[in-house]
Amino acid sequence: MESKALEPLWSCKVMADPTDPAPTCDVDGTCYCPLTGTIDTLSGKYAMQLISIVGAHESMRFAEIEDHLPTASTTTISARLAEFREVGLIERTQYDEIPPRVEYELTDEGRELRTRLEPLLEWAERTDARDAGSDGRTQEDGRA
Amino acid symbol at 118: E
**Residue-wise pLDDT tens digits, 79-138:** 999 999 999 999 999 999 998 899 999 999 999 999 999 999 889 889 988 888 765 544
Q: How many residues does the chain have?
A: 144
Confirm whether 142 is domain-assigned: no
The count of domains in the chain is 1
- 114 found inside a domain: yes
Give the domain CATH number at 87.
Answer: 1.10.10.10
Quote the pTM value: 0.69
